[in-house]
Structure 1
Amino acid sequence: MSESSSSSSSTLQETLLRLSNSITSSLAATSYTPPKTATISVKAFLEPLLTPTNSIKDFALACALLSSSTLINSELLSWIPNHLSSLASASFFELSQIYLTVFNNRNTEKVAELGLDCDLVPPEKRLLIELFPELVPILKERIKESSFDKSDEFDEFSAASARVPVGFAILAAYQFRWFVTQVDYPHLGKLCGWVIPCALTAVDHWSPEVKGQGMVSFAHLGKNVDAAELGGFEDVILDACCQNIAADDEVWDCVVEASITLMSLTQKSNPRSPWFEKMLNEMLSHLERQPRNKERRIAWLKSVDSLLNGVGLVLLAHFRRIFPLFFQWMHADDDDTIILVLKCTYVVLRLTWIRNSPYVARLVDKLALVYKEAALRKAREEIRANITQILVLLQESKGQHFNLAWDKHQTDPDLTNLNLSLSGNYKCNLDSLPSENSTQSSGIVQT
């Protein structure tokens, strides 16, 4: 090794030692009481990763875990203060810069081997990407250690827990999620071969915390890769999402987001895909089991737009399950649910123009009632604006059929302003709507 190379390498080691000591000092000054339900000590887990003889890999794992505390609401990591999390993030960034000055050629080769162009990868991401193929398999195995023991058909849970405390799998899942979410488009697609197996292992785990981090990683993957980059994993991933739709409510929002994101990515050009049918039916079944669960319905209503747009006119086949839920949610106790379900109702109508469905008359009556009930709501103006938008769309698409349904409400004094809107005093932008002729020519069977 030349004198300059030796000096540079020494500078890197000195930087690693200095940064590790800084984090260690801050960690030591942070009070820590493990939760009663904890199976491990997180502080004791971190300390060996920050010893004077630690490697860059160990340091990266420590920084990943500490940095994760600002991204998640976890009992295991809630004791980590923001300043320590920020210090870990800044330290890894600083080490990355120094590393490139010493091992730039090596890093260039490693990153190029992954199919990435170093000129397009941000410098602060290059060390992380180099470490990715080495660290993610380690995290995958750590998650797998406390998974169900498929060989013990009588007591899978106990067999898994007895081998390794689940806390290690939870920490590995947080670290994995952090590594994945640091890489975005177009670079993440080249790392699918490492991300997908680990994410599948996480979502197959019995712990909701581990499962949730796997789903968050899948959601990020779906937003930052091209469908072709998923390779032969497409059906396996979608099946894993379907299998987890009925998972614990604490990960429902993660499952919904990941499922819909990946469906939109992989099936967007095929509204008749059996995956759309299966995914939508699984979600509706889960919602029907507890229609009054506020968190469950809000999470779904917030994310479902792209799924509805993907299904398109085929939504007609699901009306008998969708509208009973929508009608019930229109009378929810909270304004958020009402506004969200009205927006989703508009999307469904815009996509289907509702044809000659028997739901037209019932929907009109329901909207008139909700409009009047909104007088006592804090968000009454927004609720009423959404109802007006829906009714204008129905009036435009259904014509005389709508008029017959609305006739009974014409003289209701509580609907005077709404009647004025429907008479043409207020106009809705319908430029994006399909013509009724084009809808009728689609060949979809009416409901």
Structure 2
Amino acid sequence: MLLSLLSDSQLEIRDFSLCCAALASASESTYNQLFWVPNSLSLAAASAFKDLSKAYATMASGNHDLIKFGELDLDFKSLPNDKILAIHLIPQLLPLLKDTIKESAIDKSIDGHEMSAASASVPVAYAIIAAYQFRWFISQVDYPHLGKVCSLVIPCALTALDHWSSEVKGQGMISLIYLAKNVNAAEIGWYEDVILDACCQNIASDDEIWERVVQMSVLMVTFTQKSNPRSIWYEKLLNEMLSHLERQPRNKERRVAWLQHIEPLFNGLGLILLSHFRQLFPLFFRWMHADDDRTVLLVLERIKTIVKLTWIRNSPYIERLVDELVSLFKEAALKIAREEIRKLVLQTIILIQQSKGSQFKAAWDKHKDDPDLTIFHHSLIEQQPAMVVQLGNLV
């Protein structure tokens, strides 16, 4: 069957591959229109495409004219057999998938005030399936070959991000996350500003794709701007995220996702984090006393990172931070993760003590005689030598 297909037109190979992509991508789908696809069928589709790829590579090895990469700078001999067909199809398929996604998108009028469906007669399901196919196809190519097709992948991903459907947006985000992990920053080239702008525009996305928004934004800004902590994109993205979180401080899913993935952005900013304390610490102080232990642990880890990166220089938040940490140490007695929480509180207190000296002493004096902190004082004394050694290793 495969040999027969290979001997037929390229159009049939393309259509067969699109079918495989739609079925194979269904295994990771949350879209109700793809629920009917059993996992066994998804696996069979992925296997069929793999077999077709191997057969195609075998035939192509004897006839290099069969493989045409257009304007792509690719050496046939350097490509793995299981990647040749996918790379060969990308220049044909991605423009088609991009157009399919765009057909049911929202178009702004020329004056920018009125908005309408690009084509009211096109079901959004077409765009969703196309987005899943797009994501699956690019996942078939990895480093170092994916970088060669960035000029095709990025416009399609941005079209998906610009769609009104969360399902379509989500697949675009997954695609950009995968892209950033499998290309060099230089290969993104002229697209970095438009990608980062798209990240900013999507910060206010729906709950179901918020975690992907954070992952994508943090990965893209640290990937493209890592040597420039004063980049305007660090500022824009963090401000957008914090403003959004300030409007929904009680949303557990959003805060946990943000706290879980924001660390690389903090590391990229370094001392520049000082300019964001006014927004960060009010949220941290609130979340430190959240009902769920996961939030509390993540907040403490992020605070510890900030203290290490900035030594909280000239900050008016020192006294409040010490007070909140002491209060949390007491509250931890009623929490399941009390040991982990108390350990992080102690480590953070010692870091503050090492960095702030007299300012810490002034904040700590009002707690030193608290009878409820006897365990805390003993633990602080026991933990301090080990932490001093760790601090020495960090310098």
TM-score where L is the length of structure 2 = 0.92
SS in 2 for 1:269: coil
5+ residue gaps in structure 1?
A: 1-9, 18-52, 435-447
SS in 2 for 1:149: strand
SS in 2 for 1:430: helix
Deviation digits for residues 332-363 of structure 1 (CA, Å, limit 9, x no counterpart)? 11111111111111111111000121111110
SS in 1 for 2:107: coil
Aligned to 2:115: 156
Cα 1:402/1:168, change in 2 over 3 Å: same
Aligned to 1:269: 227
Aligned to 1:235: 193
Match status 1:213 vs 2:171: yes
SS in 2 for 1:70: helix
SS in 2 for 1:163: coil
1:315 aligns with one of 254, 273, 276: 273
Aligned to 1:290: 248
- Which deviates further from its counterpart, 363-372 or 414-423? 414-423
C-alpha distance in structure 2 between counterparts of 1:425 and 1:228, whole Å = 45
Aligned to 2:59: 102
Question: Does the CA contact (< 8 Å) of 2:322 and 2:349 recur in 1?
Answer: yes
C-alpha distance in structure 2 between counterparts of 1:108 and 1:430, whole Å = 61
C-alpha distance in structure 2 between counterparts of 1:182 and 1:16, whole Å = 23
Question: Does the CA contact (< 8 Å) of 2:108 and 2:114 recur in 1?
Answer: no
Aligned to 1:74: 31
Aligned to 1:331: 289
Cα 1:300/1:414, change in 2 over 3 Å: same
SS in 1 for 2:120: helix
Cα 1:409/1:96, change in 2 over 3 Å: same
C-alpha distance in structure 1 between counterparts of 2:244 and 2:141, whole Å = 33
Aligned to 2:129: 171
Aligned to 2:343: 385
Shift of 1:82: 1.4
Aligned to 1:420: 378
Question: Does the CA contact (< 8 Å) of 1:107 and 1:127 recur in 2?
Answer: no
Deviation digits for residues 143-200 of structure 1 (CA, Å, limit 9, x no counterpart)? 011111334877634x335131111001101111111222222211111010011011
Question: Does the CA contact (< 8 Å) of 2:69 and 2:91 recur in 1?
Answer: no
Identity of aligned residues (%): 57
Match status 1:356 vs 2:314: yes
Aligned to 1:223: 181
Aligned to 1:201: 159
Cα 1:70/1:411, change in 2 over 3 Å: farther
Shift of 1:139: 0.1
C-alpha distance in structure 2 between counterparts of 1:54 and 1:75, whole Å = 29
Shift of 1:432: 5.2
Question: Does the CA contact (< 8 Å) of 2:57 and 2:82 recur in 1?
Answer: no
Match status 1:430 vs 2:395: no
Cα 1:246/1:413, change in 2 over 3 Å: same
Deviation digits for residues 74-109 of structure 1 (CA, Å, limit 9, x no counterpart)? 222222221111111111111111111122243785
C-alpha distance in structure 1 between counterparts of 2:2 and 2:46, whole Å = 20
What does 1:3-82 align with in structure 2 at a 5 Å threshold? Answer: 12-13=3-4, 55-82=12-39
C-alpha distance in structure 1 between counterparts of 2:121 and 2:150, whole Å = 29
Aligned to 2:74: 116
Question: Does the CA contact (< 8 Å) of 1:395 and 1:402 recur in 2?
Answer: yes
Shift of 1:374: 1.1
C-alpha distance in structure 2 between counterparts of 1:215 and 1:425, whole Å = 43
Aligned to 1:347: 305
5+ residue gaps in structure 2?
A: none
